[in-house]
Every structure is written in C-alpha cells, then in structure tokens.
Chains A and B, each alone.
Chain A
Amino acid sequence: MKSKYIKSLLGTALVSVFFMGCSSDILTENPRNFYTPGYFQTKAGILGGVTALYANLRNLNGQAYYFNSCETGTDEATWGQSADGNFTSMDYSGAATFNSATSPIGILWSTVYSNINTANGIIENALIVNASKKGTADTIPGSLITEANFMRAYDYFLLVQRYGGVPLDLGSGILKFNTNPSRTSVRNTVPEVYTKCIFPDLLTAVNTLPVTQRFTGTVTKQVAQLLLAKAYLTYAWWLQNPNNIPTYPLCDRTDPNGKDAAWYFQQAYNLATTVIANPGSYALQATYYDVNVGSNDRNKEMMLYADHTQLSQQYNGGSLTSGSAAAPDNFAGWMLTWNYPTITSSGDGGATYKISSVLRVSTQDLGRPWVRMAPPIGVFTNTFADKTNDSRYDGTFTTVYHANWPLGGTVTATSLVNANGMSVVPGAPILSFLSTDDPSIVYPPAYPDPLAPGKSSVGAGTMPGRADYVVGPSAISRIIYPGLWKLGPYRTDNGTGIGNPNAGSTRPFPILKFSELFFIAAEAAVKGATVTSVSGTYANDGTAKGLINIIRARAGKWRYSNAQNAVVVADNSAAMVAATPATIDINYILAERSREFYGEGYRIFDLRRTQTWANVAGTYQICGVKFGDRTVQTVTRTILPANYLDPIPQAQIDGMDMTATEKAAYQNPGY
C-alpha cells in the first residue's frame, strides 16, 4: 500500500518535472536591468539621447588630457615638473616623441563619434516617432531634435579643426544613424564636412532653437549663432589659407556653395554682431572677476558649458570626494596647479621650517596640484604685461598663496614664523608671485646647491620687510608658477575644514562665452569684413577696435582682488581703452584672446585657425624642474606645417579592417 502510494507520487512528480523542463521559454531573453537600442525609438528614449549629448560634453570639457592637447604646445602652456609623456609629447619641443600613438590627440577622436551617432539616431528616430505618434502627446518638438543638430555640428567642427576632413558616413550612410559594426571608414574633405553638416545643422539650429533655455545650460538660438559665426570665421581662414598650410584629404580650396573667403568672413561678422545687438538672455558680466568666480557660475556670459554639481554624486558623474582623474570628472584645473602645499613655515622661527602653512583645500585659489603643465614666462611678461589696470591677470591666476593651516586641524598655533623671521597669521600672504623682478629679492642659493629649496622649501626668495616669500617673473619654472585660479574648485560644503580638494571640480567647465562674439566680429573685421555700427547694450562703431574696446573696458573694472583677498573697487576702463592700439591686427586679437580666455582650451584652435601657431608659439622661456632653478631656458619648438593637422589616432588605424595602403592613405601626411 505504502510503496504503491510512493510510486504514484513519484510518477506524478517525474511527469510534471519532465513537462516543466520542456517549456521552451527558457530560451527567450528579456533583459530587465538596461535598455536595448529599441528604447531609442520612443519619446523618452530620444529625450534621454539628448541628455546624453550634454552629458558627453563632460568627456572633453574638463578632461585634463584633452585640455592638455588644446593648451600644451601653445604660448599659453608647456609641460610641468610632474609631466608624463602625455604632456611632454604635446610640447613639440622634442621632450618626447609625438606620433599617432600619442594618446592626448586621440581623445577627441575617440569621444565624439559615438556622440555624433547618438545625434544621428535622435534626428532619424524622432522622425519615425513623430510619424507614428502624429497628433498625440508622444511627438517630439522640433526644437528638441535640433539640439541634436547643434551637438552634431559642434562635434564635427572640433574634428575638422584638429584632423582635417573626417568621415560623415559612420557605416550606414552620410549622417545616418549607424547600427552596423562597420570596420572601414572613408574620410570626407574639409569643405564637405562644413557644407554638408556643420553649416546646415547650425542653420537649422539657428532657425529652430528657442531663445530661452529649456533647462539650465541647454542650447538656444544665440548659442547656435555664436557657433555658426565661429565656424564661418574658421572656414573663411581655411579657404583663404594665407600661410599655405596643407589640408587633407587633398581637395581644392573652393567652396561647394560657390562663395569665397570674404563672403564667409562677412557672414561671421554679421552673425556675431547680430547676437551682440540682440543678446536675448545673455550678457557680459560687470567685471571679469564675475565671469569666473565660482559663486557666480552659470552666469549670463556662459553660453555653453559642461555642467557638474556638488549636490549629487550620481548626476555629477564622478565622485564628490576623490577624483578619478578621468572623464567625466572635471579635473583640468589640476594640471596648471603647482605643488603649493610644499611651502613651509616655522613654528618658532628656529632652524626647522617644516610646517605646511598653505594646505591643499577645495577653494578656487588652491585645489589639487598635479604640476603636469606650466605657463611659460612670456605669459607673465608679454600676455599679461599690464597687471594693474587689467583685472584679467588677477582674475586668471592665483598669485598670492594665503595661510590656511588651521583648516587642517593638526597645527594649533595661532601664528607661524615665515619669511625674514616675521610672524604670520591665518589669511596672511605666505608666498607671492611679484609683477616684476626686483633686485632686492634675496633668493636662497640656486639649484643644484643642496640649500636651494631654502626655508620656504620651494626656492622662493625674501624681500626686506616682507613676511611673505616672493618669486619674480623670471624665476617662474616648471615647478613653481602662479596657479590657474579660473578653473579652481569652488564648493559650499567645505565647512571649517579643507573640504574635498582631491575631488574633481564640481563647477561647470566653460565652452562658449558671450564675450567671444566680440572677438569673432573683430577678427572678421580685421580680415576685411565690412563693418556696421552695433546698437543696443554693447553699442559701438562695429570696428575691430570698437568691439575689442567693449571687452577691454570691462577688463578694467575691478570689484575684488584675488591677490589681496579683499574687495577692491576700481574702474580702469579709460586707461584700458586708451592703451588699445590704433590699428588692430591679428596678433593683437590673438593676444587679447589669450588675456580673455587663457587656460580654457581655446588656444590651439585660435593659433591653427589663424595659421600663426609656429610664429606665436615657436619659442618660449621657462626655468627648470627643480626648486631653486632660476636659469631661464629658451626652448625652441618644431612646429611643421603638417602639425597643423593632428595624426589620425593609431587606435583608429589599428581598428580598421583595410589594407595597409588604404590605412596609409587614411593617415594625415607627415605621420
């Protein structure tokens, strides 16, 4: 009885198990923790795609190695004491080999194509969604789709400036959304990239984008006008080619639209002055300090930026406490920051000067020091020669390092002994970079004397009667130089401590500014555009000088001094305008651009566009890599015409499934 019961039970179990096993839905997949590409064909997916385009701005803007590729090798920066091959190779001075495997030149290339494809997908899929959802709430407004046009043009504009002609077909056709695993590529020519993509996309954007932002920092009609003006200007230079710089892939310097360089210079002028006259919600800030001070981020002058936040680690995209030194972190500012916490003061003025009086703190003047890049001496003696009237020197650099040791909580002394055995209190200057060299500076013995670091430990000098250490401009070296205040961190959660100095900056990284419109119009005017007077808030005669003087007048206005760490109200506008030369030429515009946009990643584009790179940045001067090395070295760069185009990154060449000949033809000449 019992065994019979067990048998039948077992039999039932076996039969049911067999059928359970037979169900074939165990071979069907249904992912539940991520989206498949199909989601990209819904309204929510497309909205997400547009957000991704903004998020991807962070992969370049604030990414220090990309920043390095835009600055090192120009008159604004060379490699610093802690530089590795990523930086020495970009200096074109033979410090390291520069070739297609040099990693910084690959960052732009490896970042933007996926972005371009996302934009392609948005533009393509939005049409499909709108066709199928016609008349419902699930359609996508054209202005939103056009944000993708803007981003695609922005990416192609970067590419065409760095590499020459680039592919418009990613594998599924010209400007088509690619879902094919394509392992071949064909490059278009420079005029094709401009006339088939950049100009049409930006014209669509100018016509369709709203004049007010959808969210904080989203693009508008005016942003598109600014970028289009910049693209016209750049293309006009390319058509004109005054210094006979080669292009690639080879093509005639004729415009498929049948226009000439002068026409494009005029378009650039017209568009820029139009926005200056009709700025919408954008405006110049009252002072230069206001443009860059962290408490005033996302101001009306900032037209496009890669945003960050200290309020949410998740949406910041990177840790709020310790930087990853990789995108999407904003860590560009670390590169041009010297190792200021090395400065030492003394507790009692005795023999030992071992107390760090300037701690690493997440404030705009300090931040994390990586010493990978350094400004050549010419930045201080030429570009920023005027340090008194022009507030931009003070609004760009940290020139005075102030005592902050109590923030560390370990040194409890209320005062320390600093230079000349003099006492300093928290907030007092500990080390100052002077405006000019002064014969009364007493430096410690020069390197390689073992005493070269001196009491300051950084080889700084002293001046009679001053409690702070001092460094003259001619002593600026690869290891000690004014920090880049502009890009320094700003946080409101430091409390009474040092905050999070090792985190990436939680500030937005600037990309496009309202002020650039004045430079674009002025440059176009210098290149022969017919000028007309500009009305509105920024009324001027529309000449290069008139436009530039708006910027220079603003630069003369002070409301705060970083060096003094105090409110300083002054208006030196008149002196600034008076100092403007009667005739503005390209070199003056370039110098003025450097004063306005120093260390923001503009420089390599400016020098290549104007074909002045080798002239402006061919040599530079700086002292060596040791504290106390005050021997000014003149370094010569070898910038060949072929260098005006970056090599196509080796990873692209390696990744393509093409013959060696085809691959060689894909590469830019000279590499």
Chain B
Amino acid sequence: MRVVALFLVGAVAILCLLEATLRMLPGPTATRTGYYFDPVILTYPPNHEWQSASGWDLRNSRRMKSNNYGFATSRQFTKDPTAVALIGDSFVEASSLREDEGLGPQLERHLEGRPVYSMGVPGSSLLDYAERVRFAAERFAIRDFVVILERGDVRQSLCGDANVAAACIDRTTFQPRIEKQAPPTRAKDLLRESVAAQYLLGQLRLDPRRLLDAILASAGPASGKNSADGLAINKVTLNPQVYVEPVFDLFVQRVSKQASGRLILVLDADRRAIYRNMEDGEPMPDDPDRVLLLKLAHERGIDIIDLEPIFASHAAKSKLKLEVSPTDGHWNSVALSLISSAIADRLRKREQTR
C-alpha cells in the first residue's frame, strides 16, 4: 500500500513540475469564450487577458487582451459610422503575429486614420460572420464591412460542425438553425485553471481516440501522419454543389439587410497550388468551393476580392512564403500586407465611383 502511495506521489510530483514549468514558459491560458454581448455571437469576456501560442513547442507566443466588446484587439469599440468592420475568424485575429502586423492595424494604416474594427473570432463560419455584421451595424452604426473568407467557412456553416458558434444551416433540409455551444462543465471550468491541462487538452488536443489510432497505426519512420495544418480543411461527405449555394444565399440575405454602405468579401486562395505551380509549372487545379463561391458572388452582384491573382503575382516575384509556418496556414505579415493593400484599394476605388 505504501509503495502504491509513493508511486502516486511520484506521478503527482511530475504533474506539478509540468504545471510549474508551463507557468514559467509562455503556455496557453484559458480564453473563456462565451455569449457575453449577444445571444448568438461568441466572444471573449471583455478586457480578458490570456496567453496564446502555437504548436507543442509554444511558438509565436503572445499575450492577448480583449477589448470592451470581447474581441482580441486593443482598439476599443464605440459607435462610429466611419469605421470599417473587419469580420472573420482566426485569420483576422492573427494571434501568431504581433498586433501591429495583423490585418486590422495594417488596413488602418492604409486607410489613413479611418478606424478598423477587427472582429475576428477563431473557428467561426460564414453564418457567424452574418451575425457579427448585424451586431456591428446595430451596436456601432457601422456601414462598411469587409468579410474575410477562407475556403472552409462555407462548410463550417453546416450544423454539427465543430466550428459553428450558433447560426448554422441544417445538413439535410438546408433550413437555418441555431446550435449554440454548450456551457463549460464544472470539470472543464476546473481544468481551465491549470496551464498543464490547457496545454495537454487545448494545445496538443489529446483525446483517447487519437491515442488509440496512434497505437494501432502502423506508420513507418519515413511516413508522416497527415498534417492537420491550417491549409487543410475539414472533409465532409456532402457535395459542395449542394450546400454552398443555400449557405451563401442565406449569408447574403442576412448581410444585405445590415450593410448599408459597402460589403467586400475577400476570398483566400489555394496557396499550395500556387507554390506547386511556381515550382513545377503544374496548372493550378480549381478548388470547387472557391469556384462556386466566386461564381455565386459575381451572380449576386457581391463585391469580392479573389486573392489568387494577388498571391500568384507575389509568388512569381518572391520566394517569401505567405503562411505563418509550414504547419500553420494562417497568413503571415507579408500576406496581410498584400491583402490590406488590396482591400484599401478596393475601398478607395468604390469611394471614387460613388
């Protein structure tokens, strides 16, 4: 019995050592997201501070703080019809970069003083963006909106997807629904206090099924597991031709009511295909989601910036990559500089033609 007790003491001592080490290192801390300002909009608590980092080795660590409306930006939001709302997911939040390298601050510099409200929340979807457009219009009287779309955003609007914050569309009936995230259990609340638990469950995303797969997988030394990097997108069995149009139309229907000024969509490109094209001269394959989304936007008269020609032109001139890292497909500051410049140009052009 004494041996067992001592064995457990040894085990607990290591866990305590891990906790202490991670507290000294820039380990991730709890974000505590919730529906603080709107019943269907997920944000951080107001003025909440947390630490973010990426990868097992805690790269690109950054001390983050939410503003008065729970978005990860130092700009405080007030009613301001001259502001531009920049809406998106982790591509807008850009937690791997310094704040001044993010899309909002870069765009703000291009717009010479016009405030940009960065309303990025990681892991959200097209229909969540529509809710944020509504929120920005109602709460801050904003008229101009820039919505950043990555290729997975439409799929992530299907109910049941882990990225759905609240608004979603049913996979079979394509009817709008609300599917809110469950509040944290007491156990989860308790685990949030531990940096080690955050690291193991949040950063490493440990789960028993994955571990079982690792035990049973017969991968050799040379083979790699498929990278779950930022360029990859969740696979769903539904054909994009089936769900892209209803999701997009619902988004347009909801947004058009709110965007009294300008609405610009910005669509990410298949960067891997661009690099392949530069290296081997292989023609870029058309991503069906992208193609369909562009077609629908043009048909519905929505202003959309396709980033493919912008990124392709950069890749033709420069060897500098556009991602944070090979395993993190979020845009880096070079990409954000190109994008912010394109958005600013489009905003100015539209201003002149009005």
Q: Do A and B come from one complex?
A: no
* Residues of B participating in the A interface, judged by any CB pair closer than 8 Å: none
